[in-house]
Amino acid sequence: MTMSPNPSIGEALPMIVLGAGGHARSVVDSIQRAADYRVVAMVGAGSEEGSYRGIPILSGDECLVRLKERGVSAAHVGIGYLGEGALRRKLVGQLLGLGFELPPVVDPTAILAEDASVGAGAFLGKRAVVNVGACIGAQCIINTAAVVEHDSTIGEFSHLAPGAVVCGGCRIGADSFIGAHATIIHSVSVGRGCTVGAGSVVLDDVRPETTIAGVPAHAIETGSA
Ligand code: JB2
């Protein structure tokens, strides 16, 4: 589903961010810069407390029910590596079950082509570029200065680390991680659940559940699928 990062004109709407670590703070910075939403709370697992930029850091997901009852209707899962896979999916399911909306967060310095699409809950960080015809799945992280070129598709819950480049016409499956400054050359398909090492150059299709690294990239662990 494609969702607008911008709610209808009016006052900034309240939003909560799950997580209170490095990724969540980056997300908060982008939300504050975009100014469509105002972050009213961050919700961590209990390892952090206090506040960040005056935003209270709450502990434990039990408080989500209370926040929803108090009229907060938007949320973003701001957890990166730790949340890869199961935890991020679990939290998204919990938020949807409680009736939260999960709008994408697009940093104002990101460039999103008019006919590109961004799924629910995705994050486009500073200077990320998503070019024409590209499709970013729900809950993807397109981190700082990552590039998704024309007509490429990034499957849900996948994560492009800073500076990763996905050239035109690629298919990246769901739940995959593309490391910092890795390059996927044009028209290559990377299966679901893959990990591509930082700085790798991927020249050929990659089977699902494979870990691959190097220049040119070679499989380190191959999936059975
Ligand atoms: O069940 C949970 C839960 N488990 C961990 N519920 C909620 N609401 N929060 C949970 N957390 C929270 O995830 C922790 O309390 C903590 O705030 C956060 C993980 O923070 P950490 O700093 O370890 O990782 P991160 O995901 O913010 O950042 C990683 O990923 C980014 C993409 C870092 O490694 C960064 O360097 C990286 N840029």
Residue 66 has what pLDDT? 96
Residue 6 has what pLDDT? 46
Which residue from 82, 139, 158, 195 has its CB within 8 A of the most atoms of ligand 1, so it is best to mutate?
82
Across residues 212-221, what is the average pLDDT? 95
> In angstroms, how far is CA 211 from the centroid of its own chain?
20
Global pTM value: 0.94
Using an 8 Å Cβ cutoff, are 183 and 201 in contact? yes
Nearest residue by C-alpha to atom 24 in ligand 1 = 21
For residue 46, the CA-to-ligand 1 centroid distance in Å is 11
For residue 118, the CA-to-ligand 1 centroid distance in Å is 22
Render pLDDT for 56-98 as a digit per residue (tens, 0 to 9). 999 999 999 999 999 999 999 999 976 567 899 999 999 999 9
Reported as half-sphere exposure (CB side, CA atoms, 13 A), residue 56 has a value of 7
High-pLDDT (> 70) share of the chain, %: 93
Residue 38 has what pLDDT? 97
For residue 166, the CA-to-ligand 1 centroid distance in Å is 25
Q: What is the mean pLDDT of the chain?
A: 93
